[in-house]
């Protein structure tokens, strides 16, 4: 019913707009439209290695995302819509991989089907000064509010966002009131009685490579967060550059919905990345404040990733007082005649964790790699295969854990 109301609203806006447009203006709505079919096949395997957490999760699924994006009537208004569907192909053992959720009887749900994205969009202005707005079922990708795409299908929000650009200075404000989790078909309220999440922020990058960003957000009587980032890119010549970044995220309880009261922590992250031709090497360091760092806006359903570089695979390295070092390496094999093949690998070590009375270890480590190949042949353009392999030893959800994920993505432009 909500989708019908949204579609009716979009149709009314389109009808009203086209009544004042020329045929040429109306044609841009069709000519600038796109329709893409995205097929995703995902296999997950995770096994627990501690005596308290012996498990072997294996899950295999096929997803489909049909994404339509319109042009703009009179260069002002349009709409986008996406259908997400997924089917479980295999699911032996205990399932907590968030492919498709389990019901109250702990039986797996075999499929997901939903209109995941459906929103009206509008824009005004030129290249130097412009305003863009969306409202409906949307994806988000800001520093403090992100949809999660690490499973079979991405999550979605119901809400809206306004973005403004003023001679290179970028500003945004958004508000979301419902979430469709990555493992479900419905749009639901947030957990812990959170009715909404509001965030806003801005950023600017100077011509010399220096830039900064500042974001603030709050969820209904639950949590407030602030994110600040400064960065600088130094051109070293000979196709070589050095990128430096420092960011910090503050998080504290903001009302009666959060428990326990008095929560206050931070996540500080420093990064350096050297890129030269096909090789990229990075070094990262993180420090956590006086509590385990909480970044989920409702502590329950919001699975958006954290902004720190040290969060890659299984652990976010966000325990109380934890200090983390990470070294990472990536290589583009096109330099040796294999275009489309890439590798990235990282090792992360966290220490000085508050053991909370010897109930958890004071350190953790993780190593992980991604090997990806994007097919270059014209007939297979849009097809890619990625293997994610990682090993974790330490404190998080299931203790010592090994993991393998295989993603096969095929994107086909239909329009």
Kindly report, residue by residue over 158-180, the tens digit of the pLDDT: 999 999 999 999 999 999 999 99
pLDDT at residue 40, as a whole number? 96
pLDDT tens, 74-121? 999 999 999 999 998 887 655 555 666 655 444 556 789 999 999 999
pLDDT at residue 214, as a whole number? 98
Q: Distance (Å, rounded) from C-alpha 399 to C-alpha 191? A: 25
Peptide bond preceding 150: is omega within 30 degrees of 0, i.e. cis? no
pLDDT at residue 92, as a whole number? 66
Q: Distance (Å, rounded) from C-alpha 157 to C-alpha 176? A: 6
pLDDT grade for 28, boundaries at 50, 70 and 90: confident
Reading the block at residue 235, the tokens are 């051109």
Q: Distance (Å, rounded) from C-alpha 144 to C-alpha 215? A: 7
Q: Distance (Å, rounded) from C-alpha 393 to C-alpha 401? A: 6
DSSP 302: -
Question: pLDDT over 70 for what percent of the chain?
Answer: 85
pLDDT grade for 411, boundaries at 50, 70 and 90: very high
Burial of 75 (0-12, 13-18, 19+ CB in 10 A): middle
Q: Label residue 366 left, alpha or beta by phi (over 0 means left) and psi (-120 to 50 means alpha).
A: beta
Q: Distance (Å, rounded) from C-alpha 285 to C-alpha 325? A: 5
pLDDT tens, 121-150? 999 999 999 999 999 999 999 999 999 888
Q: Range with the lowest mean pLDDT among 155-169, 205-219, 317-331, 398-412?
A: 398-412
CA angle, 161 as apex, 176 and 412 as ends, to 5°? Answer: 95
Q: Distance (Å, rounded) from C-alpha 401 to C-alpha 390? A: 9
pLDDT at residue 4, as a whole number? 42
Output the CA–CA distances (angstroms, integers) from residue 300 to 87, 181, 217, 345, 380, in the order listed.
Answer: 24, 11, 17, 30, 40
Which residue shows structure tokens 């010399």?
208
pLDDT tens, 39-65? 999 998 888 776 666 677 788 999 999
Residue 302 and residue 296 in contact, taking contact as beta carbons nearer than 8 Å = yes
Indicate the helix (H) or strand (E) that contains 53.
Answer: strand 53-69
């Amino acid at each position: 019913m909500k989708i019908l109301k949204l579609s009716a609203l979009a149709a009314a806006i389109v009808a009203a707009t086209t009544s004042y447009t020329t045929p040429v203006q109306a044609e841009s709505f069709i000519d600038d439209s796109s329709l893409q079919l995205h097929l995703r096949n995902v296999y997950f395997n995770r096994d627990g290695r501690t005596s308290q957490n012996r498990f072997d999760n294996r899950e295999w699924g096929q997803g489909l995302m049909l994404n339509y994006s319109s042009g703009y009537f009179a260069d002002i208004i349009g709409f986008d819509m996406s259908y997400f569907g997924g089917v479980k192909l295999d699911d032996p053992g205990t399932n907590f991989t968030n492919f498709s959720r389990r019901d109250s009887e702990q039986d797996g749900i075999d499929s997901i089907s939903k209109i995941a994205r459906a929103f009206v969009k509008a824009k005004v202005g030129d290249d130097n000064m412009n305003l863009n707005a969306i409202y409906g079922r949307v994806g988000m990708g800001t520093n403090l509010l992100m949809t999660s795409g690490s499973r079979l299908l991405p999550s979605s929000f119901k809400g809206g966002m306004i973005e403004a650009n003023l001679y290179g200075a970028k500003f945004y404000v958004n508000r979301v009131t419902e979430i469709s989790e990555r493992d479900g078909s419905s749009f639901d309220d947030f957990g812990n009685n959170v009715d909404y999440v509001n965030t806003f922020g801005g950023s600017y990058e100077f011509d010399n490579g220096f830039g900064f960003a500042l974001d603030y957000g709050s969820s209904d009587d639950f949590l407030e967060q602030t994110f600040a980032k400064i960065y600088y890119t130094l051109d070293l010549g000979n196709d070589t550059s050095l990128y430096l970044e420092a960011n910090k995220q503050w998080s504290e309880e903001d009302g009666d919905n959060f428990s326990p009261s008095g929560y206050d922590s931070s996540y500080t992250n420093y990064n350096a990345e050297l890129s030269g031709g096909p090789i990229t090497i990075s070094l990262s360091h993180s420090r956590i404040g006086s509590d385990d760092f909480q970044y989920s806006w409702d502590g329950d359903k919001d699975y958006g990733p954290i902004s720190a570089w040290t969060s890659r695979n299984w652990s976010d390295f966000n325990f109380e007082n934890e200090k983390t070092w990470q070294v990472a390496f990536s290589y583009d094999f096109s330099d040796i005649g294999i275009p489309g093949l890439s590798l990235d690998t990282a090792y992360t070590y966290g220490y000085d964790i508050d053991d909370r009375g010897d109930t958890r270890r004071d350190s953790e480590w993780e190593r992980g790699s991604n090997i990806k190949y994007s097919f270059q042949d014209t007939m297979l353009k849009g097809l890619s295969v990625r293997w994610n392999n990682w090993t974790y030893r330490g404190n998080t959800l299931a203790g010592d854990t090994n993991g393998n994920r295989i993603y096969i993505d095929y994107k086909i432009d239909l329009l």
